[in-house]
Amino acid sequence: MIKIDQEKCIGCGACVDDCFTRDLVIADDKAKALNQTCIKCGHCIAVCPVHAVSITDYDMSEVKEYEAASFDIEPEKLLNFIKFRRSVRQFNDQPIEKEKLDAIIEAGRFTPTGGNRQPVSFVVVQEQLAELTGLALESLNNLGKVLLADTEKTPPLIAYYAKRWLQMYEGYLTNPEKPTDLFFNAKAVLLVVSESPIDGGLAATSMELMTHAQGLGMFYSGFFVRAAANSDKLRRFLGIEDTNKQVIACQVMGYPKVAYQRTVPRKKPEVSWR
């Protein structure tokens, strides 16, 4: 619920003007919350010049005052940071500190979501990576057999991956302790779970940038996303009981064992200006 401290409020109307759902009004020269259509986006908190607004459902101690030195990023530096990031699959043996994982999740938590529904949750796997690997490779092995049973309908690249999944599972059964091409030598797997692919994908992007900002490396495992979608056993292991939710992104991470020296080229953008 939105609360407005009437003693602090100066009736400037900034919160009313910025309220997309029109749940705030000016009455008796003060801002008033109707609390009928509010989606708790917090714009009223952010825009109020006298800090008169609060949301009872949230922890208001999280609110930070804007300071240019701490908040602003130069556009060119941000773009270079995005261009320089790489998908890292070579990791050293250094464990990831919990505070860094917490910061990565925090980046996902504060990523915008449609209607401020915040329908995104996270699963962090560290101690049970061996069990997760076995379940995921078992799922991919089963899926690979299905795909290879009808090669006429399976595109060549997918058929290649299917064969690789069977080989990965066979290698895992032969030596379960040996790193596989699923997680390599990663120290943590962070899963983004949501009923909304867009909201989950946006959160994952923010988390990826935070991962690299902390000196960690990561890559997205599309293999694992397929495995999770194909295995109820794997979903139960992860505690994903809501059938409407799915693993949107699997971020495999650790401290990089490789150092990149430069950015890489990309295709020219396809843009239509109207």
Q: What is the DSSP string of 238-273?
A: HT---TT-EEEEEEEEE-BS----S----PPP----
Q: Which of 114, 88, 75 is nearest to 200 (CA)?
A: 114
Q: Does residue 220 sit in helix, strand or coil? A: strand
> What are the start and end residues of each CATH 3.30.70.20 domain in the chain?
2-62
pLDDT for residue 152: 84
Beta partners for residue 4, in sequence order: 53
Q: How far apart are the first and last CA of the chain?
A: 42
Give the tokens for residue 155.
């595109």
Specify the CATH number for 2-62; select among 3.30.70.20, 2.60.40.1180, 3.30.1330.10, 3.30.565.10: 3.30.70.20
H or E element that contains 55: strand 53-55
Task: Give the HSE-up count for residue 116: Cα atoms under 13 Å, Cβ half-sphere.
Answer: 9
H or E element that contains 31: strand 30-33
∠ Cα 136 101 129 (to 5°): 25
Query: How far is CA 118 from each of CA 110, 121, 173, 198, rounded to the nearest angstrom?
Result: 9, 8, 39, 11
H or E element that contains 16: helix 14-17
The neighbour count for residue 158, using CB atoms within 10 Å, is 14
Distance between CA atoms of residues 53 and 31, nearest Å: 9
What CATH number has the domain spanning 75-130+180-254?
3.40.109.10
pLDDT for residue 273: 97
pLDDT for residue 130: 95
pLDDT for residue 151: 79
Q: Which of 50, 66, 60 is nearest to 9 (CA)?
A: 50
- The pTM (predicted TM-score) of the whole model is 0.95
Distance between CA atoms of residues 74 and 274, nearest Å: 28
Residue type at position 143: L
| E-only strand ranges, 155-203 | 188-194
Residues of the chain with pLDDT under 50: none
pLDDT for residue 174: 96
Residue type at position 10: I
> What are the start and end residues of each CATH 3.40.109.10 domain in the chain?
75-130+180-254
